[in-house]
Amino acid sequence: MISESALPKMIHLLNEAVEKQTSTGCCKAVKRALEEIVTSGEEFVPGEYLLPAPDKYARRLLYKDSENRFSVLVMVWGPGQGTPLHDHARMWCVECVYRGKIKVKSYSLDDEVDGLLRFVPETEVVAGIGEAGTLIPPFDYHTIENASPDRPAVTLHVYGGEMDWCNAFFPEGEFFRMERRHLAYTSG
């Protein structure tokens, strides 16, 4: 059952968190707020936001701050669904698992040759319910995928604004080709 007070409580906590002056301090406070509300056990994401999409992960806007200081998205990852290597368009982000488990692989940029980029894998984390991580540019290169082969995973993403594009990176030998991607919300 959806808690009538949990979503307003989360928005209140996030408003307090983004009042911090630096992205690092803001991200730490946002991370604590998400962990607190998700581990409370209160359901606050409407059921229609929790449905997977058949062909790719679902990306749904849950809340957008009227001053564009942050936005909250719900992403649903069906079995086998994930992202290519990508960045967050120079925008901070905090990601928290709401249901299931996800796998996040972080990378660092190592070299650029003739417009192609080389990345070095840094860390791989499997996160469960209530576990959150921060992505603060320039350390925001990563992939994310559902860690379960047989059930969906749901994550909450709080961005430092509304992220409507990112750079995605596709393998070409030992290097990657960069492609700017427009991001849209999933309907239904």
Domain extents for the chain? Answer: 46-182
Question: What pLDDT is stored for residue 1 in this prediction?
Answer: 62
Nearest to 154 by CA among 101, 103, 99: 99
pLDDT digits (tens, 9 = 90+) for 62-89: 999 999 999 999 999 999 999 999 999 9
CA distance linking residue 185 with residue 13, whole number of Å: 24
pTM for the full predicted model: 0.91
pLDDT digits (tens, 9 = 90+) for 96-134: 999 999 999 999 999 999 999 999 999 999 999 999 999
| CATH class of the domain at 46-182 | mainly beta
pLDDT digits (tens, 9 = 90+) for 147-172: 999 999 999 999 999 999 999 999 99
